Structure 1
């Protein structure tokens, strides 16, 4: 198994954070969990390109990245 790099985007509006609900295995076992929208960075792709692609694939939205947390 090879390591995979992921990138996640956080959208905050009116003190609310946009998250996606997923079902599967997580740190507490099996079931539902929530995470920011994002995904695996493809070979040769920049992290911001991944976020733009993932938001479009998941929500049909075109986004502009305004700042980075880390």
Structure 2
């Protein structure tokens, strides 16, 4: 006798939720990281000899300093 037991809708099972928890937490962590980066470091200056023009950052070749 082949008895198949219907366990109900998928959202009442724990395994789909457990499998979706990891990627969901990664997405939340990425969003928090992006928000913190824009809040704390968006106006930070470039100190390595670069020039920011719009969204492009380029390195400026300068003459050697004379003492």
- Normalising by structure 2, we get a TM-score of 0.22
> Greater relative contact order: 1 or 2 (C-alpha under 8 angstroms, separation 6 or more)?
1
- Normalising by structure 1, we get a TM-score of 0.21
Higher strand share: 1
Higher helix share: 2
Larger radius of gyration: 2
